[in-house]
Structure 1
Amino acid sequence: MRSDQAMRITIVYDNNPYDPRLRSDWGFSCVINLGERTLLFDTGGDGEILLENMKRLGINPKKISAVFLSHIHGDHVGGLPAFLGQNSKVAVYVPASFPSRLKEEIRYRGATLEEVRQAGEVFPGVFTTGELDGGIKEQSLVLRSPRGLVVITGCAHPGIVNVVRKAKEIGQDRLHLVLGGFHLGGATNSAVEGIIEIFLKLGVKKVAPCHCSGDRARKLFEKHFGSSYIPSGVGKEFRIVE
C-alpha cells in the first residue's frame, strides 16, 4: 500500500448491528482494501448473508484476491462455499491444522490452498501471526499502516494479549488499532481490566472489539479508552490514512 493511499477495512459480517441496511448474524468477516489488492478475512457463518451484505455495501466479491480464515469454527468459515461460488480465483490461507476435508473442498472449488504454520509476511505489509495455539489453533492478521500496526482477530482463542504481543513482535512498530473478536464474553471485570492494562502498556492506540468480545468487555474498553474506543458492528468502515 502506498503511503498516500487509505487503508479501508469494512466489517461485512458480525452479530453486532451497526448499519441498519445490513443483516447481523453470529460470526465475523471483514474486507480489507489495500489499494493494490483486496482481502477477505473470515467469511461469517452464512454465505447468503455474507454476499447480501457485500452487495448492499457495493463490494464486488470478484475483486477479492485472497481469503484468510482465522480458525475452523463454522461462524468464521461457513460462508466460504458461497463466496467461492462467486469467486474461486483466490488464494485461501488456512491454518495447517484445518481438517483435510475442508482443504480438499477449497481445492475442489478451484481456489488455491495455502497452509499457514509460522508467522510471516504474506504480501508487502500484510503478516499472519501463524498458527497460535489456545486449544483451538488460530491465525490473526497484522497490517502495516501509515499510523502503525492494525491487528485483526477472528476470535482470539489463543488469548487476545498473546495475539497482540505476537503482532508487535512481527510488525516491529507501534500498535494503532486492534479490531475483531476478543473472546471475552465470559470474562470477569477484573480479568478484562487486566487485559486493558496490558493493552495500554503495550501502547495500543485504538480498539474496536466486536463479535465474541461480550457486552461487558466492550463497555469496559470504552470506559478506559474513551474516544479511542470505536463502536463496531456489521457495516462499520475504518479508513486509516497518514
Structure 2
Amino acid sequence: MSPGQTVSAPPPVTIAVTYDNNPYDDRLRTAWGFSCLVRLPERTILFDTGGDSSILLHNMEQLQIDPREIDVVVLSHIHGDHVGGLGGILDQNSDVVVYLPVSFPQGLKDDISRYGAEVQEVDEPRELFDGVYTTGELDGGIREQSLMVKTDEGLIVITGCAHPGVVNVVRRAREVAGDRVYLLIGGFHLGGASASKIESIIDDFEQMGVERVAACHCSGDTARALFQEHYGEGYIECGVGRRIALPLEG
C-alpha cells in the first residue's frame, strides 16, 4: 500500500427479515414462521423460507429482493414454518446450494435435487465457505442447525427456533467459530417460558458476552420485553421487513 493510502472499511453485512409473525413494515405480510436474507460481499444467503411461498415472495418483492440473487439457502430444521416456502424460491431460482440437516427426510432432499439445486447435508459443525459456519445439527427433540457469520465486530448467530436451547446454540457457536457473539438474531423458542427462566438465559448471555439481541418469531412477547429491558440500546426490534446493517452505529 502506498504511503498515505487509506484502507476502506469492509462492506457491511446486511440482514433483512423476509418472513416473521411479528410486524415491522406495514407493506409486508405477517405469518407464523421465519426467514431472513443475509447479504455478504461475496454471497447472498436465504436462511429458512417461512411457511408460505406466496407470502415470502410478496415480502421479498416489497423489499426489492430478487430471488435470483440468492446463492445459498440454509434450512435450520424440518418444521413447515421454516421450509414451506422453499418450493417457491426454487421455482424462480434453482441455481442454489441448499444446506440442510442430514436428518431431513430423503424425500425432501430428492425433491430439492429434482429442481436442479445442489443439496449439501450437514451433520457436524463446519465452515460452509469463508467466514460462514454452521453449528452442525444440535439435538433438542428437534434436530436443528444455526448459522454463524464472522465479522470484524464478532459473530452474527442466526437461529430458526433454537429447539436445542438458545444458550446451547450460543455456546456451540463460540466453540466452533472461536469468537464472541456480536449479534444473536432469530427465534429463541421461549414463547411459553417463565420470566425467571428467561432472566436466567439473559444471565447466561451476559456471562458469554452476547452483545446484541434481536428476538424474532417464537421468542414470545415476555422474552422480547425482558431482553429489551436488559439490553437497552443493544436490543434490536425484530419483525418482518426489518433491515439491519452491520456494523451497527454506536
Question: Higher Cα Rg: structure 1 or 2?
Answer: 2
What amino acid is aligned across from residue 187 of structure 1 in structure 2?
A: A
The answer for unaligned runs of 5 or more in structure 1 is none
Q: Which whole-Å CA distance do the structure 2 matches of 1:3 and 1:234 have between them?
A: 29
* Residue equivalent to 1:190: 196
Paired AA for residue 64 in structure 1 = I
Equivalent AA in structure 2 for residue 87 of structure 1:
N
- TM-score normalised to structure 2 length: 0.95
6, 23, 30: which is aligned to 2:12?
Answer: 6
The equivalent residue for 2:55 is: 49
TM-score scaled by structure 1?
A: 0.98
Residue 212 (structure 1) aligned to one of 198, 208, 218: 218
Give the match for residue 167 of structure 1.
173
1:103 equivalent to 2:103? Answer no
Q: Distance in 2 between matches of 1:16 and 1:55?
A: 18
Partner residue, 1:152: 158
Alignment partner of 1:173: what SS?
A: coil
- Which residue of the partner structure matches residue 124 of structure 2? 118
Identical-pair percentage: 58
Which residue does the alignment assign to 1:67?
A: 73
Question: Are the aligned partners of 1:157 and 1:183 in contact in 2 as well (CA < 8 Å)?
Answer: yes
Q: How far did 1:71 drift? A: 0.1
Query: Equivalent residue for 2:3?
Result: none
Superposition CA RMSD, Å: 1.0
The 5 Å alignment of 1:128-147 reads 128-147=134-153
Name segments (4+ residues, structure 1) moved above 6 Å: none
Cα distance between partner residues in 2 of 1:13 and 1:40: 11
Q: Deviations over 1:164-221 (max 9, x none)?
A: 0001111111210000000000100110000000001100100000100000111111
CA distance in 2, matches of 1:185, 1:117: 28
Which ranges in structure 2 are unaligned for 5 or more consecutive residues? 1-7
Aligned pair count reads 241
The 2-side partners of 1:115 and 1:123 are apart by 14
CA contact (8 A) 1:146 1:240 kept: no
